[in-house]
């Protein structure tokens, strides 16, 4: 390992938290304690949320049990009885994973030396439902009912369970919330806290955040009485309006597997002799198939090789739509369309047990005979394929994410958690998320580290014409990192305007732009650019779509799940738009207007791809004001 250039690597973020070496995924065990913001139980700490001191996470795993995500609380009144000499202990509440049968349950450990050493409770687990999908406890003290409250995910059921305890050792089930909102994925990493709306002390609401694997996090706004969380009726109505926008995928169903593999040829040992009805062996939950049966090549684990081939059918519509999941290994795992005995279309999964709609335009083969083959020639981790509901249709399948209130509309914001006991007030809360995705975690092209955390965000609630929304902005302390400054005012642009001096910032900067859309139909920025390589942040005036397009952002070929476009709806009042953007070598975080929409995305540009351009299409727009700051590295002092 090149220790001399540690933290100077090409794609290494300079002001975001990353590990020296190895991986960093979910933020866990977040607590503000004795003047420090702590992350991952000793892995890192900071006094200002900017400069991080790296350490080593306390490991609570055993020979029989793996430690999963959870939380840490300061039991200042020693309700647990673990404290010594009249001093309250730190108590960790975390999920244990039984190595032998993959069951998950809740455990506790305690420390009487400020987290330097931990003692695992000898009566663990404290909650055990004999479930393989029961994880990620977030615990806090609920003063009104004078008890500890735990929010924990019933992952495969898309529910958050609430438990109460007087001593952190004995827990009573209080209630469940869900399913609601986005349900095409397992629910994980809940967080819950109160906030004033618009700073009004007479209008307190509770925010419940839930991560939806493998996509992103959604949030709910409502009330919590110490026992039950109820989403506001207005919030539920807003979700209903969003759901009504979702397109269905009608058409002529060719194969839905409800009658087995009738007419299909089954070769090899990758596939069972009949479709599956759910997960098999120790497979995780499978979500998104229709009806009761689907194709699943996991019946031999991730071993075996084989092929399913359908009977012939006539291509009589313009699109062939189908549900697909499984591994992202195109050479080994793929669904193919054959016409005249030749493969004319092919597609693989994206490393998830969720089946998503995919579509092929097959208009050029109208009137011809076609067949489907489903191939599994892989052997190893996630080398299996899932498929269902092959349908001929006059229109393409809707491949958008589910409609809900997403916390972030980008692909790399997951497992968000807030700091317990922080000096926040009820006007704002501070949280952070994993900068990454389960869809391509294994393939990320960085070394010697992999993954990191987003920049800490200040969270609040604000009123809008269509209801109360979550507002996010980088924490104010980011101003400490600002060095070189460039500004523009009242710059009218038609076409492209290269921002002078941006290239020397080497993709490590903060940008704030106030834009008058004028007569333009589209405005935006091309980021980390050189020639045809760039990441595009665009805003379409007619539709209000703010999009990050990373399909040409540099290295995008390491996973079929990586290239993509990610869109949030943003209203531009009086044709004015405000954009705040953090760019840090291999990532961008975008905040629109007050911060009601955010998009976070990793990018891996080539060396020297560092141009920044503002553009306006089919008309003229004005940069009323643009501020650009170089942000100094927190690592290279």
Catalytic (active-site) positions: 26
Between CA 18 and CA 37 the distance in angstroms is 15
- Residue 473, CA distances (Å) to 132, 428, 435, 508, 582 in order: 36, 10, 16, 18, 11
> Taking the CB of residue 468, how many other CB atoms lie within 10 A of it?
21
Q: Is the dihedral of CA 285, 286, 291, 293 positive or negative?
A: negative
CA distances from 91 to 31, 135, 137, 466, 474 (A): 11, 17, 13, 41, 29
Return the half-sphere exposure (C-beta side, CA atoms, 13 A cut-off) of residue 636.
13
Phi, psi (rounded to 5 degrees) for 275: -65, 160
Q: Sort strands 449-450 and 22-23 into parallel, antiparallel or unpaired.
A: parallel
Residue 570, phi then psi, degrees to nearest 5: -135, 130
Q: Could you please report the per-residue DSSP string of 410-454?
A: SSS-EEEEE-BT-S--TT-EEEEEESS-TTTGGG---SSEE--BP
Minimal CA–CA distance to 168: which of 229, 126, 115?
126
DSSP string, 93-147: EEEEEETTT--EEEEEEEESSTTSS-EE-TT--SEEEEESSEEEEEEEEETTTTE
**CA distances (Å), origin 85, targets 81, 115, 558:** 11, 16, 55
Q: β-strands 252-255, 369-376: how paired? A: unpaired
Q: Which residues contact 185 (CB under 8 A, 6 or more apart)?
A: 212, 213, 214, 215, 287, 352, 354
Check the CA dihedral 268-290-414-573 and report its sign.
Answer: positive
**Six-digit token string for 72:** 């840490």
Identify the residue whose tokens are 């009658």: 259
- Phi, psi (degrees; rounded to nearest 5) at 4: -65, -30
Classify residue 340 by burial, with Cβ atoms within 10 Å: 0-12, 13-18, 19+: exposed
Give every CB contact of residue 282 below 8 A, 6+ residues apart in sequence.
Answer: 102, 132, 301
């Amino acid at each position: 390992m090149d220790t001399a250039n540690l933290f100077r690597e090409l794609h290494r973020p300079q002001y975001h938290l990353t590990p020296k070496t190895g991986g960093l995924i979910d933020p866990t065990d977040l607590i503000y304690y004795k003047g420090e913001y702590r992350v991952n139980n000793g892995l890192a700490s900071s006094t200002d949320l900017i400069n991080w001191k790296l350490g080593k996470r306390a490991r609570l795993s055993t020979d029989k049990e793996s430690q999963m995500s959870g939380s840490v609380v300061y039991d200042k009144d020693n309700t647990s009885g673990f404290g010594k000499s009249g001093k309250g202990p730190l108590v960790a509440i975390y999920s244990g994973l039984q190595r032998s049968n993959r069951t998950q349950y809740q455990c506790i450990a305690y420390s009487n030396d400020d987290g330097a050493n931990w003692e695992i409770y000898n009566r663990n687990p404290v909650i055990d439902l004999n479930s393989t999908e029961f994880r990620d406890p977030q615990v806090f003290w609920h003063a009104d009912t004078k008890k500890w409250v735990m929010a924990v995910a019933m992952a495969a059921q898309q529910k958050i369970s609430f438990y109460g305890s007087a001593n952190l050792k004995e827990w009573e089930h209080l209630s469940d919330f869900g399913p609601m909102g986005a349900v095409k994925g397992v629910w994980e990493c809940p967080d819950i806290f109160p906030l004033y709306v618009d700073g009004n002390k007479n209008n307190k609401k509770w925010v419940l955040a839930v991560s939806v694997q493998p996509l992103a996090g959604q949030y709910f706004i409502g009330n919590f009485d110490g026992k039950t969380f109820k989403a506001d009726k207005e919030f539920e109505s807003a979700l209903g309006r969003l759901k009504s926008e979702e397109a269905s995928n009608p058409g002529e169903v060719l194969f839905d597997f409800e009658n087995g593999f009738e007419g299909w040829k089954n070769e090899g040992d990758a596939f069972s002799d009949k479709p599956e009805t759910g997960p098999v062996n120790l497979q995780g939950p499978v979500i998104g198939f229709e009806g009761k049966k689907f194709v699943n090549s996991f019946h031999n684990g991730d071993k075996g090789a084989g092929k399913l081939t359908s009977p012939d059918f006539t291509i009589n519509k313009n699109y062939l739509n189908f549900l697909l999941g499984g591994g992202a290994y195109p050479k080994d795992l793929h669904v193919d369309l054959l016409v005249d005995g030749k493969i004319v279309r092919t597609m693989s999964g994206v490393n998830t047990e969720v089946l998503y709609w995919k579509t092929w335009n097959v208009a050029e083969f109208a009137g011809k005979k076609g067949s489907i083959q489903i191939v599994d020639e892989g052997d190893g981790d996630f080398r299996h394929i899932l498929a269902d509901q092959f349908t001929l249709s006059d229109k393409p399948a809707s491949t958008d994410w589910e409609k809900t209130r997403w916390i972030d509309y980008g692909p790399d914001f997951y497992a968000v958690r807030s700091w317990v006991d922080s000096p926040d007030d009820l006007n704002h809360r501070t949280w952070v998320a994993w900068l990454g995705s389960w869809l391509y975690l294994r393939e990320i092209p960085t070394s010697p580290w992999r993954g990191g955390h987003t920049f800490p965000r200040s969270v609040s609630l604000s009123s809008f014409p269509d209801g109360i929304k979550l507002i996010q902005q980088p924490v104010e302390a980011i101003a400490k990192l600002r060095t070189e400054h460039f500004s523009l005012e009242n710059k009218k642009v038609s076409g492209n305007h290269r921002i002078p001096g941006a290239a020397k910032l080497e993709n490590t900067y903060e940008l704030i732009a106030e834009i008058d859309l004028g007569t333009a139909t589209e405005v935006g920025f091309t980021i980390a650019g050189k020639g045809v390589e760039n990441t595009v942040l665009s805003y379409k005036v007619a539709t209000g779509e703010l999009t990050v397009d990373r399909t040409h952002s540099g290295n995008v070929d390491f996973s079929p799940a990586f290239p993509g476009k990610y869109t949030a709806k943003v209203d531009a009042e009086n044709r004015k738009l405000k954009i705040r953007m953090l760019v840090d070598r291999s990532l961008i975080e975008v905040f629109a207007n007050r911060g009601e929409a955010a998009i976070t995305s990793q990018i891996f540009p080539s060396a020297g791809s560092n141009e920044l351009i503002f553009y306006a299409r089919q008309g003229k727009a004005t940069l009323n004001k643009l501020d650009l700051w170089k942000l100094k590295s927190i690592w290279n002092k």
